[in-house]
Amino acid sequence: MSSSSGPLTEELQCSICLDVFTDPVSTPCGHNFCKTCLNKYWDNSQTCNCPYCKETFNQRPDLKINTTLREIVDHYEKKNPKEKPEVLCDFCEETKLKALKSCLVCQSSYCETHLQPHFKVAGLKKHKLMDPVSNLEHYICQKHERPLELFCRDDQTCVCLMCTVTDHKNHNTVPIEVESGEKKTQLMKTQKDIQQMIQDRIKKIQDIKHSVEVRKRFFTELLEMMEEQQKAAEKQEQDLVEDLEQEITELKMRNTELEQLLHTEDHLHLLQIYSSLCGPRKPRNWPEISMRTYKNLKILRRTLSQQQETLDKKLTQTELKWMRQYAVDVTLDPDTAHPCLILSKDGKQVRCGDIWQKLPDNPKRYDRYTNVLGTEGFSRKFYFEVQVKEKTRWELGVARGSVYRKGEIKLRPTNGYWTVWLKNGHEYAALSDPPVSLFVRVKPQRVGVFVDYEEGLVSFYDVESSSHIYSFTGQSFTDKLYPYFSPDLNIEGKNSSPLVITPVDYSK
């Protein structure tokens, strides 16, 4: 065989066939060979020794494929693909023609002419034909010299029919075509997942670039406004300095005149101009100028704050628009609902009733707190929105599917709950450990919940005002996450409104 070219070729070559390893195995002395090459070498030798260092073994070693070396070889061959050699007919005597098929039983390759007996002779018709290959020995069981027609799922290797009654007896074996088909299905799913990941990341890049542009425009406008304010302030200060310098000049001239009058003997002139020099002068209102500057600065700060709020809102709107593409259809699971909860027929609304309903007790049902979970759990990105208006108490978030649901429950991430709540009509908190009090400018009417499973993120948003409420970050998820709801207790009708799972408006 011709050796492959490229880096590491010698290190990955079998010293028997001088080609890159195929199913590499290691001898007890530490040297590596192709499994087929080494078996053939020992089959044709009276002693069992290493072809490289000639060390002799008392008994023939049980060869196991070196999986690490095989992975290195596979990686190398992907980086340095070999041109597929042309397979020639084994029976053409003079000019050898290109083979059309290879026969696993005959272990030979045939051109169109020499292949004809396999289509006409009864015994040959049963032989297994395949596309022509140059390494037919790799398709033959080296122990029983029969075609490798089956795949052993227990040992993850190809076997022949004789193997199923000897070394692989009672193992789970299937035709190699079946296993290959299933592997292709898995590969297609993996490829689809990778393609989706690529699209997700392209979309995220676009969103990030859009956010950068929004922020860039904002700061450009901000700098222009600050520059104008700076120029206006400098102009005002310059005018003030010029006024003060002019007045200093006038005062110096007046002081000189007064000095002269103090030493004059012209009493008549002194009396004539006394009123003009010593009379009251209208004072300049310097504090008014300072106050004007202060007011301008105050206006500037307020403008900057308003623009920052506008920017935050634009950025949150961009985030929400991106998150809405992961919206899921959430319905409430009646098997998890506390007996006091009343669910709508469509599974989109839940409120607390006044009567303890007689419901079957099961491991999924909450029995102490007025909680309910969504029907479906997710281990990917997902988003949903819930209407909370006219309520004085509620809890929202996500929970692990394996959370404990009986008796006293503490809502915290270590117990598998990532939630926020409203108490007493105005007290908001994120139920981390310890809880974090939240400040909201406007009482949320609709809350959006977004989960990025891979990133370990659970975020809450006020959908109406496009503002961020709170995010749990750096979390580690090992189980599916289910939407979590609690309309809380209905005390004398003061918290009777339901929590409503609302459709997501993709146009916003």
C-alpha to C-alpha distance for 202 and 196, rounded to whole angstroms:
10
> Which long-range CB contacts under 8 A does 15-24 form with residues at least 24 apart?
15/51, 15/52, 16/41, 16/51, 20/73, 20/76, 20/77, 20/82, 21/69, 21/70, 21/73, 22/135, 22/138, 23/65, 23/70, 23/138, 24/65, 24/66, 24/69, 24/70, 24/73
What's the pLDDT at 476? 92
**How does pLDDT run across 494-504, given as a tens digit for each residue?**
889 999 999 99
Alpha helices in 80-175 (DSSP H): 112-115, 117-120, 122-125
DSSP for 139-155 reads GB-TTT--B--EEETTT
| pLDDT at residue 5 in the model | 44
Q: Cβ neighbours of residue 118 under 8 Å, at least 6 residues apart?
A: 101, 103, 110, 124, 125, 127, 129
Residues of the chain with pLDDT under 50: 1-7, 287-290, 294, 304, 311
Give the per-residue pLDDT at 2.
38
Rounded CA-CA distance 389/444 in Å is: 7
Instruction: Tell me what pLDDT residue 295 has.
Output: 55
In 3-state terms the chain splits into helix, strand, coil percentages (rounded to 5) of 35, 20, 45
Burial class (CB in 10 A: 0-12, 13-18, 19+), 249: exposed
CA distance linking residue 257 with residue 279, whole number of Å? 14
Say how far apart CA 452 and CA 458 lie, in whole Å: 7
- The reply to whether omega before 434 is within 30° of 0 (cis) is yes
Taking residue 235's Cβ as centre, other Cβ atoms within 10 Å add up to: 10
Contact 387, 445 (CB under 8 A): yes
Handedness of CA 442, 447, 452, 455 (dihedral sign): positive
Q: In which residue are the tokens 């059309």 written?
A: 100
The letter for the amino acid at 64 is K
**What pLDDT shows up at residue 307?**
61
Contact 442, 468 (CB under 8 A): no
Query: Which residues have CB under 8 Å from 492's CB, separation 6+?
Result: none
pLDDT at 449: 96
Distance CA 42, CA 36 (A): 10
DSSP, collapsed to helix, strand or coil, labels residue 185 as helix
- Radius of gyration, CA atoms only, the chain: 43
